[in-house]
Structure 1
């Protein structure tokens, strides 16, 4: 049975992907800095191991630090240099598929209309720049015959037991606090972890899917007000939406920058911005529908809280 090596297998996506592939009776080997008995360390990865593997799925990375306590070099050490090292080993081996988990933030921090793979990348954050540097290194190399290389740029990933940005909205609705930003009409793309795992498995299995960069998103974008209403339906607590004037909302957010309030300027921006991501390229390649609709995926995540 061909081996599938996963870095970052103890993270949110890694745990879900390992479970998903295990259910399909696929053999998994975790690659970790602190390996348990069933894993190996990065230093133990060699050609003997890689030659037995069909795929090397590189999920490990340094996530965007919202508290801004990380040094820039940490992002490049983990997101760029580690990726280069693993990719070089892959190129020397008989392993067939390399999948690199990048991010839409490697392409753009703000989006007008829909983000496609044709955009000229212009990341603003160090996180995005470190991810893009890894992408550029991978794309600079010639792909040997018989190998396939995929760079995935997922938008915000959610799933059971991973609250992420949905946590604040969940606390609003579950505590009966009215959602005050009804005046903001926005659209955001999300991807359920189940759809992401489905796509990764398709990439491993199908040789006809072309190497390249792919955005990963669910089919339909949702507004934050849509999310609030879905949460209310799932927990049987109808959501209250207030249409406060935007000027008042901005004043409250500015106060939140100074004293601890549930909302500050950064959170207001995240909750009300537009960030729509096109998944047309990957869907055209896999020629299948995603298992979960956007709404069903959100419902599944909320039901797990």
Structure 2
């Protein structure tokens, strides 16, 4: 299958391009930075996968306009090209943050969007453009909302937690029983390929996540196991930690109320819809296998 993919230099792209090539797809990589990018897309393209975007800047140094120019405007331009072309399928990689910064219960596709950050808002506006468009017969449009993606080579939040465990620093928030969903990049690649190959999958919004959510305590324990370390979980009372965080708000400690909330909140994402559409019961990589594979890559990078 002839596929054009934007964002090939990013973490997901670096994994998805070789995966699809190994599945005998012919992948053409696209740079939207080029002024004449439309002319570089092969006319024989059957699928467009749009990964390119401006990632969430947790340091809050990026301008709001930059998010909308990249995440909304470039998406719209590429989608408009798709509508006029002979290409059959369009995959837009949005984010769960396009609809919810916090989750009560389990996040499903029919949630009413309430993005908080410019990143989430820009992704949501791009989603709305696609959802409101008239799709010609014979074409499919998939809006993919992945949760936290990890895998070998990814230097995100899991890498930070790995460094805490590797240095034998105790995890002081073990009294908070929160659960979060993750997404192995291996499962992401598998799902994209299966959706491309299965003509019965309908257009729509699909969450991507691993089959099971993990508590942070389970995550710390898994990382310790993979690192040949003994997990150090400190069950300090929630009241004490909340008090420390309140002090941190005033005198700029490493732990403040906002950081405590991020570290202890629940964010569970359902992947039932995509599995039902594909007729599968479970994904090929369990959350435990994926986390251990990612942690092993951190260890290799230090050698």
TM-score, with length taken from structure 1: 0.93
- State which drifts further: 61-70 or 243-252: 243-252
Matched, 1:115 2:114: no
Task: Give the deviation of 1:256 after TM superposition.
Answer: 4.9
Question: Contact 1:31–1:42 at 8 Å: present in 2 too?
Answer: no
Deviations 1:87-118 (A, max 9, x none): 00000000111000000111111111101111
Give the match for residue 174 of structure 1. 166
Matched, 1:20 2:13: no
Deviations 1:199-232 (A, max 9, x none): 1111211111010001111110100000000001
SS in 2 for 1:100: strand
Give the match for residue 146 of structure 1. 138
Question: Contact 2:30–2:41 at 8 Å: present in 1 too?
Answer: no
How far apart, CA to CA, are the structure 1 residues paired with 2:3 and 2:184?
22
Task: Give the deviation of 1:255 after TM superposition.
Answer: 5.1
How far apart, CA to CA, are the structure 2 residues paired with 1:264 and 1:175?
22
Q: 1:81 aligns with which of 60, 65, 73?
A: 73
How far apart, CA to CA, are the structure 1 residues paired with 2:246 and 2:81?
49
Q: 2:293 aligns with which of 293, 296, 300?
A: 300
Give the match for residue 301 of structure 2. none
How far apart, CA to CA, are the structure 1 residues paired with 2:294 and 2:189?
15
Q: 1:206 to 1:67 in 2, by over 3 A?
A: same
Deviations 1:41-83 (A, max 9, x none): 362323x834311111000111111111111111110000000
Q: 2:202 aligns with which of 205, 210, 227?
A: 210
How far apart, CA to CA, are the structure 2 residues paired with 1:239 and 1:115?
30
Give the match for residue 11 of structure 1. 10
How far apart, CA to CA, are the structure 2 residues paired with 1:260 and 1:163?
24
Q: 1:241 to 1:294 in 2, by over 3 A?
A: same
Give the match for residue 198 of structure 1. 190
Give the match for residue 29 of structure 1. 28
Aligned alpha-carbon RMSD (Å): 1.6
How far apart, CA to CA, are the structure 2 residues paired with 1:71 and 1:11?
21
Question: Contact 2:166–2:227 at 8 Å: present in 1 too?
Answer: yes
Matched, 1:187 2:179: yes
Which segments of structure 1 move beyond 6 Å, counting only runs of 4 or more?
A: none
TM-score, with length taken from structure 2: 0.93
Give the match for residue 263 of structure 2. 271
Gaps of 5+ in 1: 35-40
How far apart, CA to CA, are the structure 1 residues paired with 2:243 and 2:10?
37
How far apart, CA to CA, are the structure 1 residues paired with 2:132 and 2:35?
24
Give the match for residue 156 of structure 2. 164
